Amino acid sequence: MGVMPSKITSKYAIYNGDCMDLMASLPDAKVDFSVYSPPFAGLYNYTSDERDFSNCGDYKEFYRHYGFAVAELARITKPGRLTAVHCTDIPMGNTGKDALHDLPGEIIRLHESLGWSFVARHTIWKEPLWVRNRTLTKSLAHRTIVDDSAYAGVASADYLLMFRNAGVNAVPVAYPTGLDYYAGEEQVPEELLKYKGWKGDQKQNRYSHWIWRRYASSVWDDIRMGNVLDFQNTKDPDDERHVHPLQKDVIERAIQLRSNPGEIVFTPFLGVGSEAAGAIALGRKAIGAEIKESYFRQAVVNLERAETSWHMATQQSLSLDDGADWVME
Over the stretch 73-122, which tens digit does the pLDDT of each residue have? 999 999 999 999 999 998 887 887 888 889 999 999 999 999 999 999 99
Query: Would 320 be classed as within a structural domain?
Result: yes
Mean pLDDT of 36-44: 72
* CA atoms of 295 and 323, how far apart (whole Å): 23
Mean pLDDT of 55-77: 89
pLDDT at 53: 65
Query: Would 36 be classed as within a structural domain?
Result: yes
Contact 45, 278 (CB under 8 A): no
- Residue 329: C-alpha distances to residues 271, 288, 289 (Å): 25, 16, 18
* 180: CATH: 3.40.50.150
Bridge partners for 91 per DSSP: 100
> Does 312 score more than 80 pLDDT?
no
> Does 8 score more than 60 pLDDT?
yes
Q: Which domain holds residue 74?
A: 6-185+216-328
Query: Would 43 be classed as within a structural domain?
Result: yes
pLDDT at 245: 84
Query: Would 232 be classed as within a structural domain?
Result: yes
pLDDT at 259: 98
Contact 271, 245 (CB under 8 A): yes
Amino acid at 106: E
Query: Would 74 be classed as within a structural domain?
Result: yes
Cα pseudo-dihedral 167, 171, 176, 182, rounded to 10: -80
Going by pLDDT thresholds of 50, 70 and 90, the confidence category of residue 236 is low
pLDDT at 235: 54
Number of structural domains the chain divides into: 1
Query: Would 193 be classed as within a structural domain?
Result: no
Bridge partners for 87 per DSSP: 159
Query: Would 194 be classed as within a structural domain?
Result: no
Query: Would 294 be classed as within a structural domain?
Result: yes
